[in-house]
Amino acid sequence: MTHKDILASAFLTDADLSGGGLKVHSPVDGALLGSVATHSADDVEAMIARAKSAFDRWKSVPAPRRGELIRLFGDELRAAKNELGALVSLEAGKILQEGLGEVQEMIDICDLAVGQSRQLFGLTIASERPGHSMRETWHPLGVTGVISAFNFPVAVFAWNFALATVCGNTTIWKPSEKTPLTALSVQKIFEKALKKFGDAPEGLLHVAIGGAEIGEALTSSKDVPLISATGSTRMGRIVGPKVAERFGKTILELGGNNAMIVAPSADLENAVRAIVFSAVGTCGQRCTSLRRLIVHQDVRDQLVERLKSAYAGLPIGSPLEKGTLVGPLIDKQAFDAMQHALDNARAEGGKITGGEKVDAVEGGYYVRPAIVEMVEQSEIVKHETFAPILYVLTYQTLDEAIALQNDVPQGLSSCIFSTDVRETETFLSATGSDCGIANVNIGPSGAEIGGAFGGEKETGGGRESGSDSWKAYMRRQTNTVNYSRELPLAQGIKFEI
């Protein structure tokens, strides 16, 4: 399929792709995909007003009925999976299978949200006063602002949108300025679901196209009670305080610096597969990509040898071609950042294998993923470089390995390969990994929808997807009901009048 075919089959028209000020290039070959119209801060203000009035109607629609809209959205995504998956691949540079996997994640979260729409439950609580009952109820919050990153151009939106919608909210989505086309395509797919649904208020979903200034118009509005922002820690440092200043809520999903500990008892065959998938998948541009390998000294040499040989045979090329496992970096800036990090690693004593530019497709930034053997966890290792660089560190005791794993500013994902239950349970205990995600005998990336997703420290502390993440999209209310004929006060207080 040509680029044009992919764009057209994902419902994008000439009008979507021409006449605007935002030039969108494919990381596959640098080709210009379109010139997309951008919004202004005033446009965002108007969207917020419309989303607010849609919220006034949507919040009183019964939650299971709201779930029906998301069920229809999931159906439309199933029907458009191949087309949207190919567009993700073309615009974000992921290999086709990962583009399809991303759309599958959207479908999965829709399924979860449909079920959740019948499970937005609170608690009943024992009251200390006779003839009283207490309970906790959950109510819709309002307009949700979703700011998303280029590397998961559609799934992260869906994680937020599906839950926000069944919870009774309306949404304004600001996709990455690097991937606006997938967002426009998703908006069209959602409109199909809306049509089938019938009586939804106008303005449930708005897509605001532009850069940081559009994100800022959202974060500074007091009419957007919740901002869910996914991206770099740099962005989170601006967004977090800005929203807190107006007492808004945030879900922050920021950078990661994910590690794997490989113990002497590990199944090395599985470890190698897990390492390669999580370190080079999406060309190292996943928030959960494996960046630090902490290997026991007894197995270090053989593991590194096996990895080098697996890396040497990696098929690097167009993500649209069958058989490719490593696609391009998103752009030149990402390539320069990778080379800069490798220079720093070298200066800090690192021994580098790979990392060079590969001439796979003219116009794209393709690299051979790098393995960097470090003497210690120096400055560059503690920094998230959004590229396929795997730093290798060596340990002698599990305590030392856990200390290394935790000694970085980020706290997203982590894992241990070991068949020793004492080690694995220690890793998962309060004295083990300090991350939001900690796995055993499986890599750090590729989370399932059912669990809560997110991380600690500079990763931001937010949680999305499964478990009780839906609560972040609602406001909690505590209710006390007096069904007696008296008015007893709490804490035994007497206040006679």
Return the axis-axis angle of helices 81-92 and 63-79, rounded to nearest 10°.
70
Q: For 80-232, where are the alpha helices, taking DSSP H only?
A: 81-92, 96-116, 155-166, 180-197, 212-219
Q: Quick one: 7 or 218, whose CB is closer to ligand NAD?
A: 218
Q: Residue 225 Cβ, how far from ligand NAD at the closest point, in Å?
A: 16
Q: Do the bridges between strand 249-253 and strand 226-230 make them parallel or antiparallel, or are there none, so unpaired?
A: parallel
Q: Alpha-carbon distance 97 to 94, whole Å?
A: 8
Q: Are 253 and 413 in contact (CB under 8 A)?
A: no
Q: Residue 223 Cβ, how far from ligand NAD at the closest point, in Å?
A: 16
Q: Residue 435 Cβ, how far from ligand NAD at the closest point, in Å?
A: 11
Q: Alpha-carbon distance 391 to 261, whole Å?
A: 12
Binding positions for ligand NAD, rule: CB under 6 A: 147-152, 156, 174, 176-177, 211-212, 215-216, 219, 230-232, 235, 238-239, 253-256, 287, 384, 386, 412, 459
- For residue 241, what are the contacts with CB-CB under 8 A and spacing of at least 6? none
**Helix or strand run (H / E) with residue 273:** helix 268-280
Q: Residue 277 Cβ, how far from ligand NAD at the closest point, in Å?
A: 17
Q: Quick one: 192 or 242, whose CB is closer to ligand NAD?
A: 242
Q: Quick one: 182 or 230, whose CB is closer to ligand NAD?
A: 230
Q: Residue 182 Cβ, how far from ligand NAD at the closest point, in Å?
A: 12
Q: Are 171 and 477 in contact (CB under 8 A)?
A: no
Q: What are phi and psi of 37, to 5 degrees?
A: -70, 140
Q: Quick one: 149 or 261, whose CB is closer to ligand NAD?
A: 149
Q: Alpha-carbon distance 342 to 351, whole Å?
A: 10
Q: Alpha-carbon distance 162 to 164, whole Å?
A: 6
Q: Which residue is nearest to ligand NAD (CB)?
A: 215
- For residue 265, what are the contacts with CB-CB under 8 A and spacing of at least 6? 418, 419, 420, 423
Q: Quick one: 384 or 423, whose CB is closer to ligand NAD?
A: 384
Q: What are phi and psi of 237, to 5 degrees?
A: -65, -25
- Annotated catalytic residues are 253
Q: Residue 321 Cβ, how far from ligand NAD at the closest point, in Å?
A: 25
Q: Would you tell me how many other CB atoms lie within 10 Å of the CB of residue 176?
A: 23
Q: Alpha-carbon distance 443 to 94, whole Å?
A: 19
Q: Are 93 and 283 in contact (CB under 8 A)?
A: yes
Q: Quick one: 99 or 231, whose CB is closer to ligand NAD?
A: 231
Q: Quick one: 137 or 406, whose CB is closer to ligand NAD?
A: 406
